[in-house]
Structure 1
Amino acid sequence: MWKGMLSFGLVNVPVTLYKATRSKAISFNQLRKSDFSRIQYKKVAGDGAEVPMSEIVKGYEVSPDRYVIISESDLEAISPKASRIIEISDFVKLTEIDNRYYDSSYYLVPDQGAGKAYALLLKGMTEANVVGIAKFVLRNKEYLAAIRPTDQIITLSTMRFADEIVPAKELDSYLPTDVQLSDKELGMARTLIDTLITEFDPTKYENEYQKQVIKMIEDKAGNEEFIKSADPTPRYLDLMSALQASMDAVKAENKKKAPRKSKKPA
């Protein structure tokens, strides 16, 4: 996804960024019930007319039905400069970071020749039990990031900025107040909690609903409970197939347009 330098102090570590998670969500296509053709979405204006991409602009609503128009050049002028450096500005204790700040997770893998510097940073952070805080640019967007050691590899977690966190105080009116808890009630709660304390093993928690959905799909497919879409639009499995089909279509079209040669008498 990204190649660059992981920097702390005067030490630069060439690294490559890889995703540390993968989505397992199951998605469905929407089909028309009568013939099972795929549903398509069109962009239309308030009058119902379809709008081509060439006529669509970005607008920010400043008040009802009043917009500030933002052009691509406006955004390009203020976009963060592309950088290949993740510079750690601070080291903090892991326990000081609220979990609400964490977003997406990635692996940072050393490039060739960077093994020693990478191992130095990995071991140093592990022994000090600290997390590096840094900023970096990915796909023209600036991110705050937490750099930390996990399972003998350096991970990077993108973080939300402070103004993106909803303060708990905003929900005070929904929280219980003036609740009286007896010593007996607290004692029983603590006893129950103590009996459930164990080491965290993420593999023991499975997405049961997703397993049931997959089983249902497999059962239906096994019983041949599937349909053929009436959508005439062909769908190609790979790029080469799509290119070959396009070339064949062009040749066929050119053949139709070519003038017919009159037959010469024998």
Structure 2
Amino acid sequence: MRSIWKGALTFGLVNVPVKVYSATEDHDVPLHQVHNKDGGRIRYQRICEVDGEVVPYQDIDRAYDDGEQTVVLTKNDLASLPSERSREIEVVEFVPSDQVDLLTLDKAYYLEPDSVSPKAYVLLRKTLEQTDRTAIVRFSLRQKTRLAALRTRGDVLVLQTLLWADEVRAAEFPSLDEDVRISAKELEMSASLVESFSKDFDPDEFGDEYQRELRTLIDAKLEQGDAIDTAATFGEQDAGDDGGEVIDLMEALRASVERTRAARAEKVGEPAPKKKAESKKNASKAS
């Protein structure tokens, strides 16, 4: 893993130098969009709606639109706002761990001690464990002020960013206002059902079936030769005086498909399929 940030945990006069690492990663199979007719890549361009020109990223500013007026915020405007002025992760308070609502937990990070001696790091970790407390901390990362929960996970301190209170929607459902009566027998049977499913949680027993099946599907298509050359999915231009002539992508795709079919036929010992032009020529001779 590569650290994404360095700083120090501070509470009172205690200073704990740490390195910050992303604790999670995405294993989804990467997919991109293509034209269903010819497999060509779909690309998005930053086009100005006023002059219709493609705008380079360095020429793009941010803006806020209130529905009637737009306020443009330049890079200098944004640079003047409070950002990562401090490399400190400041402990604001220590709270009972059960008071941290799981709904507010967001991105997780591992903290590694970044000093000659990890004593202060281990001391803080053991203190959190023995007191069953979670530290609420405040810090700045990527030009945003963040609130986070500092807790333990085995021998490691974990920093988990929290959603702000106004980012959590209120659950207001009129149907839950009704007076629902649950009998003792119903509650007993429900508890019995829960008990029959009860066991210790092992996350390794679960996996993303959709991603596994998607990978199996892709591998099967590759094995069957049901694929096209990646190079053929990109448009090409000839740098001429006329600004570039777009090569016929359909022809490139047809050639790729013919090569794939020929290679597959050769592999199984079958005669390679004739090209369309040759087939038409032979048909005309026969007639």
TM-score class, shorter-chain normalisation, is 0.7 to 0.9
Please say if 1:221 is aligned against 2:225.
no
Contact 1:106/1:155 (CA < 8 Å) preserved in 2?
yes
Q: 2:194: which partner in 1? A: 193
- Matched to 1:187, the amino acid is E
Within 5 A, what are the aligned runs for 1:1-266?
A: 1-46=4-49, 49-53=52-56, 56-63=60-67, 65-168=68-171, 171-173=172-174, 175=176, 177-229=178-230, 230=232, 231-232=234-235
Q: Kindly provide the CA deviation profile for residues 132-175 of structure 1, in whole angstroms up to 9, marking residues without a partner as x.
A: 1111111121111111111111111011111111122xx32354
- Matched to 1:218, the amino acid is D
Shift of 1:7: 1.3
After TM superposition, where is structure 1 displaced by more than 4 Å over at least 4 residues in a row? Answer: 45-48
Greater gyration radius: 2
Shift of 1:58: 2.3
2: CA distance between counterparts of 1:7 and 1:90? Answer: 11
- Matched to 1:26, the amino acid is V
Contact 1:135/1:144 (CA < 8 Å) preserved in 2?
yes
CA shift in 2, pair 1:42/1:140, >3 Å: same
Q: Kindly provide the CA deviation profile for residues 8-47 of structure 1, in whole angstroms up to 9, marking residues without a partner as x.
A: 2211111100111111122311122344221111233446
Unaligned runs of 5+ in 2: 237-287
Q: Kindly provide the CA deviation profile for residues 204-249 of structure 1, in whole angstroms up to 9, marking residues without a partner as x.
A: 121111111111111112222211142156xxxxxxxxxxxxxxxx
| More moved, 106-115 vs 78-87 | 78-87
- Matched to 2:14, the amino acid is V
Larger RCO: Structure 1 or Structure 2 (Cα < 8 Å, ≥ 6 residues apart)? 1
2: CA distance between counterparts of 1:182 and 1:163? Answer: 37
Contact 1:13/1:114 (CA < 8 Å) preserved in 2?
no
| SS of residue paired to 2:80 | helix
Contact 1:42/1:50 (CA < 8 Å) preserved in 2?
no
1: CA distance between counterparts of 2:71 and 2:115? Answer: 48
Q: 1:240: which partner in 2? A: none
2: CA distance between counterparts of 1:18 and 1:125? Answer: 20
Contact 1:105/1:156 (CA < 8 Å) preserved in 2?
yes
Equivalent residues, number: 231
Unaligned runs of 5+ in 1: 234-266
Shift of 1:112: 3.4
What is the CA RMSD across the aligned residues, in angstroms? 2.2
